Structure 1
Amino acid sequence: MAGHEECGAYLYDPAARKVGEYRGQAGPYAMLRPLGGGREWQADPERVRPATPEERLSAGVRAANTLSTASYEVSRPPVPVPHCVECGDLARCRAEARARYDWSAETDANVLLRRHLQVGHPE
């Protein structure tokens, strides 16, 4: 782990082959928590690295799929809430995926945006 990571940073642990949210140090270990919650695990701080955008997106989709029990309209893309930074970021990811004809990444961004709307903007 190059430098000191801030709590909440997303790191990739090659030993566990997954992305985790950095929670702090515990002795010689970096403590990581799965995206979406769950049991923390110890990682070698010399081997973990910042997660790539693709790794973060993939881990976020897995977490959203695990947590999702909602039924929603999937035939229409979700509409981001104006002036919400996270909505804007996910909409941008979706637009970039669409521009490069990456339908899987576009679907992933839609899943994450729906989950964010459900949790962050309930109505």
Structure 2
Amino acid sequence: MAGHMECGGFVYDPAARKVGEYRGNAGPYAMLRPVGGGREWQADPERVRPATAAERLSAGVRAANERAGAAYELSRPPVPVPDCAECAELAEQRTAARLRFDWSAETDANVLLRRHLGERHGGPPDR
């Protein structure tokens, strides 16, 4: 990159195809850290360039979404375990509540199903 990079400035690394925060040099490499924190990576200082406003915004949104990952998972309805009678019953209660437009009962069924999944099946199954 032509010119001087400031520590803490945001640059785009075309090799990694992502925005990073410039942390300094280590030998012949520019050290970059992901927006929002994480493991640093080495980049060719001749190839990185200042990140555009849109690239910085996109990287910030991505970092915020990653931090909120657990809350995002709570917004998805839990998936019942196949061949489990209690899971099936709770999923049926949820469906019935949804058909009645009873959002409170639907939420209650989701909470009970999550609790059951955690207690009986070790947590929600992978999707």
Deviation at 1:70, TM superposition (A): 5.6
TM-score by length of 2: 0.54
Give 1:63's aligned residue. Answer: 63
- Structure scoring higher RCO (CA < 8 A, sep ≥ 6) equals 1
1:2 Cα deviation from its structure 2 partner:
1.7
Percent identical among aligned pairs is: 82
Match for residue 32 of structure 2?
32
Deviation at 1:51, TM superposition (A): 0.2
| Distance in 2 (alpha carbons) for counterparts of 1:31 and 1:51 | 15
Residue 22 of structure 1 is matched in structure 2 by 22
AA in 1 matched with 2:46: E
Displacement after TM superposition at 1:21 (Å): 0.1
**Structure 2 gap segments, 5+ residues each:** 73-127
Query: CA deviation digits over 1:90-119, x for unaligned, max 9?
Result: xxxxxxxxxxxxxxxxxxxxxxxxxxxxxx
Distance (whole Å) between structure 2 residues aligned to residue 36 and residue 49 of structure 1: 19
Give CA deviations for 1:37-89 in whole Å, capped at 9, x if unaligned. Answer: 00000000000000000000000000000012568xxxxxxxxxxxxxxxxxx
2:25 and 2:42 mapped to 1: Cα distance? 9
Q: How does 1:1-123 map to 2 (within 5 A)?
A: 1-68=1-68, 69=70
SS in 2 for 1:4: coil
TM-score scaled to structure 1, two decimals?
0.55
Q: Which has the larger radius of gyration?
A: 2
* Higher helix residue share: 2
CA shift for structure 1 position 32: 0.2
Which 5+ residue runs of structure 1 have no aligned equivalent? Answer: 72-123
**Cα distance in 1, alignment partners of residues 17 and 62 from structure 2:** 14
